[in-house]
Every structure is written in C-alpha cells, then in structure tokens.
C-alpha cells in the first residue's frame, strides 16, 4: 500500500472523487535509490550510525547543477511524490498532478528530488527506506526502540542536505512540501538561506507549530501509548500495538478531512444494509467502518514508535525566532476547510514575512477534503506554482 495507506479504502474514496478528471502520470517508471550517511549527529548532539534514507528523482540534473527542486513529504507520506515504481502500482505519487513534463513542476526543466525522512512512518513498506526506532542499532544488534534519539525537523533537513552534498548540489531552485513537508521547507529556508531562493509551503502552519496542533498531536499519540502491546515502546520481540496504531491513524485521517467529504462519501448510511445502528450497539455507520478499514490497512505498513517520533518532530518545530534569516520569496498554498492548519495561519505568516521585506503571496485551493485539498486538489494552484517557479 503506497503513501502510508493514503490510497487505502477510506482516503482512496476521497481520491477517486478528487481525481475524477484523468491526469497523465509521470511518463517514466521511478527508481528508488538509497543514501547512506555513515554517522549523523542530531540537533541535540546524539550520534546515529548508518543513517539510511530512500530517495528518487524526476527529470535531469543540468550541468550547472542548479535546476533542483526539493520536495519534502507529509506526516504519513513517502518519497513517492510522482510516478510509479512499477506498472501495477495502484496509484502514482501524491503530487503526480503537478510534477512531470509540461506540468507546473516541469521535469523538462527541473531536476526534482524527493526523499524518505528519518523516522518515516511506513517502515514496513518495501519501497520505503528510513532510519528510526525500528532500525537495528549496530551496537546491540536489536531494534533501537525508544533508545533511538529524539529527532527534529532540522535533523530531517540535515540528512537531506547531506544527500544533496553527495550529489554535488550546492543550490536549490526551490523547496516545496505539503503539511509536514511544508515544515521541512521552512526549516530549509531558515537553515540554508543562501541555498533557498524560493519556498512553497502547502497546507502549512507557517513558521511554528501552533499550540492547538501540539495538543492535536498528543491526541493522535494517545491510542498507541494506551495500547498494552506498546509496552513503553519495547514491542519488537512481541505483538505490535496494532489496535492503538489503527485508532491513531483513524484520528489522523478524520482530522485531515472535512464535513463535506464525510457527507459526500458516506452520509448517514449504515455500514451493513440490514444493520440499524439504533437497533444494536455493535451496528455501525458506514463512516465508522470506513475509518476502521483505513486505519487497519495503514497500520500494516506503519510502525507505532515511528509515528510517535514523527509526532515529536512536528510538535517541536519552530523557526519563528529565525525569521530574519529567511531570504526566500514564499508562496503559501493553504486549503479551504483545513481543520489542522487553517488558511489564516498562512495569511498571518505571509504578512510577517512581507513586513521584513520578503516577497510572500497566498493562493488558496478549494474542495471538500479539508487539509487534504492540498494533496488531492493541488492542481488548482498549478498556474500559480508555475509562475512562481518561472522567475
């Protein structure tokens, strides 16, 4: 299941509605590659040996090595931003609508790179390469578990920087990303202002994680930590906390979508034709069954500890105190009905950036999918993206 189950039973239903018009796939099969960093020191000073992450690219790197666009993925995403690894892959990468020849992120012009992050949720997906709590600690020969160091979004960026260094890439045309990927994009703008002239944060919190969303992330974590099988993170020799993980993923899915999506996709129909929710405690509505199927499916490729570490990295994000370092011009793309990062956050941070002299604009995408309008309906912003990347 690709994209951490993004195209699973529940969100797949939303995707089919959003992608009802045919969209040409990236016209070449994508090769997943592996980057090895033999020793990495985190922002907090911890050392991690043998950091491995997967990456892929679309288009051709020019001779000057200055036509690079870096795509950073969202909370439960992977490096597969466009195209397919094989002809029988069910769906292309999540931003396939805007990446490819002649598309807004034009691979006839740009070399587009996307990598799996540290602590990627989908560690059990054979197409994902990541390092995190489920990885084997070379010092012990066993999974790290909660002995794995806490990592930050800045650490994600530093691993990506090492990957680019290994390719001889010293400048970027732009950094882009959706949701958690937008967070990484803003980290890039603050950490390496000389490398990043343009940033496109999509469905973004702006320059820090709002306290409300920190609380929301805590709520996502709780089902995992309350599952007895989680066992304080020490479950790799036993049964994983799949029930808690499924419930956590169901919360993520529901929060990332919207009332309109639920009404359109499910309405108030019962899950079973003859199962009246009024008549029996166990009888469920179709929306309940859809959430359950999605959570169970996604849990099969997701690691619970990786989920918790990804939450922590999002919680601790802030470059607000480094705003003066940011030189890039910024195109914020919020989504109508986003109940995780409402559009007013993009407006607020665009105003603050303009106040210090940055170019910053806001273009809103619409639709029934809330936060996920920034994935499913990103093509609405295609012209704005193309214009932003053109100059």
The residue annotated as part of the active site, out of 73, 258, 306, 371, is: 371
The residue annotated as part of the active site, out of 208, 227, 303, 338, is: 338
Residues 6+ apart with CB under 8 A from 265: 13, 14, 17, 287, 290
Cα–Cα distance measured from residue 389 to residue 324, given in angstroms and rounded to the nearest whole number? 23
* 346, 357 contact by CB (below 8 A): no
* 211, 226 contact by CB (below 8 A): no
Question: Any catalytic annotation for residue 179?
Answer: yes
Structure tokens given for 65: 């090595």
How far the first Cα of the chain sits from its last, in Å, is 38
* 175, 202 contact by CB (below 8 A): no
- Taking Cα atoms as reference points, which of 289, 213, 220 lies closest to residue 249? 220
Question: Any catalytic annotation for residue 338?
Answer: yes
Number of DSSP helices (H) and strands (E) in the chain, helices first: 11, 10
Cα–Cα distance measured from residue 278 to residue 262, given in angstroms and rounded to the nearest whole number? 20
Tell me whether strands 198-202 and 329-332 are parallel, antiparallel or unpaired.
parallel
Cα–Cα distance measured from residue 330 to residue 315, given in angstroms and rounded to the nearest whole number? 23
Structure tokens given for 19: 């992608």
* 34, 54 contact by CB (below 8 A): yes
Cβ–Cβ contacts within 10 Å for residue 43, how many?
15
Cα dist. 218→121, 171, 237, 312, 314 in Å?
16, 37, 26, 9, 11
The residue annotated as part of the active site, out of 114, 179, 204, 246, is: 179
Q: What is the DSSP letter of 143?
A: B
* 1, 293 contact by CB (below 8 A): no
The residues that are catalytic are 179, 338, 371
């Amino acid at each position: 299941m690709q994209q951490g189950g993004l195209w699973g039973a529940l969100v797949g239903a939303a995707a089919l509605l959003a992608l009802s018009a045919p969209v040409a796939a990236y016209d070449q099969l994508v090769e997943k590659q592996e980057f090895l960093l033999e020793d990495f020191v985190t922002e907090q000073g911890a050392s991690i040996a043998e950091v491995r992450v997967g990456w892929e690219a679309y288009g051709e790197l020019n001779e000057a090595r200055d036509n690079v666009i870096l795509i950073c993925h969202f909370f439960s995403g992977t490096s597969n931003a466009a195209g397919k690894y094989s002809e029988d892959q069910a769906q292309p990468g999540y931003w396939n609508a805007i990446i490819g020849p002649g598309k807004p992120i034009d691979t006839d012009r740009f070399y587009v790179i996307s990598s799996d992050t540290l602590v990627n949720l989908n560690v059990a997906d054979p197409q994902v390469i990541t390092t995190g709590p489920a990885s084997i600690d070379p010092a012990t020969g066993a999974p790290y578990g909660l002995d794995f160091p806490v990592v930050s979004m800045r650490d994600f960026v530093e691993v990506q920087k090492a990957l680019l260094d290994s390719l001889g890439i010293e400048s970027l045309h732009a950094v882009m990303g959706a949701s958690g990927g937008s967070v990484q994009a803003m980290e890039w703008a603050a950490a390496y202002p000389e490398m990043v002239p343009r940033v496109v944060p999509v469905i973004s919190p702006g320059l820090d994680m709002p306290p409300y969303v920190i609380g929301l992330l805590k709520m996502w974590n709780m089902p995992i930590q309350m599952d007895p099988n989680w066992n304080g993170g020490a479950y790799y020799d036993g049964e994983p906390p799949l029930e808690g993980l499924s419930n956590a993923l169901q919360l993520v899915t529901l929060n990332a979508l919207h009332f309109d999506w639920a009404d359109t996709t499910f309405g108030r129909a019962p899950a079973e034709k003859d199962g009246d929710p009024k008549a029996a405690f166990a009888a469920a509505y179709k929306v309940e069954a859809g959430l359950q199927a999605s959570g169970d499916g996604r849990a099969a490729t997701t690691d619970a500890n990786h989920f918790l570490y990804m939450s922590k990295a999002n919680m601790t994000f802030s470059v607000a105190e480094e705003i003066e370092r940011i030189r890039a011009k910024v195109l914020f793309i919020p989504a109508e009905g986003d109940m995780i990062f409402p559009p007013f956050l993009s407006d607020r941070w665009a105003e603050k950036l303009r106040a210090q002299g940055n170019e910053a604009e806001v273009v809103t995408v619409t639709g029934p999918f809330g936060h996920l309008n920034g994935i499913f309906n990103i093509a609405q912003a295609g012209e704005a993206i193309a214009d932003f990347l053109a100059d």
